[in-house]
């Protein structure tokens, strides 16, 4: 496996420049992972498949889904791509590299764990600030246009929010100056996590059923279907920040009521 990765990476660094890999390569990888993981949930919703796992009974209209995709493409090409290109010198200055030797799996694993922890912390506070009255009305309400989220709505947001909360995603890599392959793996995992959190389905195989601190779709779906002043559940990946600061009380109360109701029925 290691030799296969090294061979593939050798091909990339031989045929493309560092700038091309870090900017264009990262953008293409992001778009591929994002849309390939998010589009199936539109298909499931439109055709009514796996409805027993759907968290909300309400479905989005094809027009609403189409609007989301159109806006996403606009934001990705007009905001995300220029941002990647503009931030390239910063990452280079912080130590990012694409050359050999490749980092060890221990180094990669440690850095990505650090990225998840710091991203969750920064995202929690940034997201909570976005739910203040003025910022919600003028910025964050765009993301909440979809009270019934589906995978692609994870990145549907006001351009100002893309920049604001995007900082949470890049602060970890900016601090460590990782190898580009680590940055790519982090991006893939972060995209898959946020798509899953917005997918609108809670499956038996969902990670939240196996990882106690992981939020997942059920945790974040609650955030979308309530008014901004009462939503809570501000974390991106884990649940402990909301638990520590008491911003998940409504969600935990609802879960408790559902569990008691199920016990009575049995």
For 127-158, the pLDDT digits (tens) are 999 999 999 999 999 999 999 999 999 999 99
CB 243 within 8 A of CB 226: no
Higher pLDDT pick, 21 / 3: 21
Rounded to an integer, the average pLDDT of 65-74 is: 97
Closest by CA to 132, choosing from 140, 144, 124, 143, is: 140
- Is 12 part of any domain? yes
Mean pLDDT rounded to a whole number for the chain: 93
pTM for the whole thing? Answer: 0.94
158-208 pLDDT, tens digit each: 999 999 998 999 999 989 999 999 999 999 999 999 999 999 999 999 999
Closest by CA to 144, choosing from 230, 252, 62, 202, is: 230
Rounded to an integer, the average pLDDT of 85-99 is: 90
Q: What pLDDT is attached to residue 264?
A: 60
- Is 257 part of any domain? no
Query: How many structural domains is the chain composed of?
Result: 1
Q: What pLDDT is attached to residue 265?
A: 60
Q: What pLDDT is attached to residue 8?
A: 95
- Is 18 part of any domain? yes
Compute the distance between CA of residue 147 and CA of residue 153 in angstroms, rounded to an integer.
10
Q: What pLDDT is attached to residue 66?
A: 97
- Is 209 part of any domain? no
- Is 28 part of any domain? yes
Residue with tokens 């982090």: 186
Range of the domain at 105: 2-202
pLDDT band at 259 (very low <50, low <70, confident <90, very high): confident
- Is 236 part of any domain? no
Q: How far is CA 226 from CA 36, 147, 229, in A?
A: 29, 8, 8
Rounded to an integer, the average pLDDT of 42-66 is: 95
Rounded to an integer, the average pLDDT of 106-120 is: 97
């Amino acid at each position: 496996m290691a030799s296969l990765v090294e061979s593939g990476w050798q091909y990339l660094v031989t045929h493309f420049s560092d700038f091309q890999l870090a900017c264009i390569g990262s953008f293409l990888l992001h778009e591929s992972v994002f849309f390939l993981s998010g589009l199936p949930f539109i298909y499931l919703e439109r055709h009514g498949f796996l409805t027993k796992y759907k968290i909300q009974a309400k479905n989005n209209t094809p027009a609403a889904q189409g609007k989301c995709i159109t806006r996403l493409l606009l934001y990705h090409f007009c905001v995300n791509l220029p941002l990647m290109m503009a931030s390239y010198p910063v990452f280079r200055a912080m130590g990012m590299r694409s050359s050999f030797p490749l980092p060890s799996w221990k180094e990669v694993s440690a850095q990505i764990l650090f990225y998840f922890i710091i991203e969750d912390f920064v995202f929690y506070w940034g997201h909570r600030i976005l739910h203040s009255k003025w910022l919600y009305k003028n910025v964050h309400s765009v993301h909440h246009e979809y009270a019934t989220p589906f995978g692609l709505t994870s990145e549907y947001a006001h351009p100002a929010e893309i920049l604001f909360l995007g900082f949470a995603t890049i602060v970890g890599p900016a601090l460590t100056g990782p190898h580009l392959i680590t940055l790519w793996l982090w991006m893939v995992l972060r995209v898959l996590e946020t798509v899953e959190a917005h997918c609108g389905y809670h499956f038996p195989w969902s990670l939240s059923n196996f990882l106690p601190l992981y939020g997942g779709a059920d945790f974040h779906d609650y955030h979308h279907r309530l008014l901004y002043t009462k939503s809570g559940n501000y974390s991106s990946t884990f649940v402990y920040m909301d638990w520590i600061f008491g911003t998940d009380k409504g969600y935990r109360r609802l879960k408790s009521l559902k569990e008691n109701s199920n016990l009575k029925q049995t």
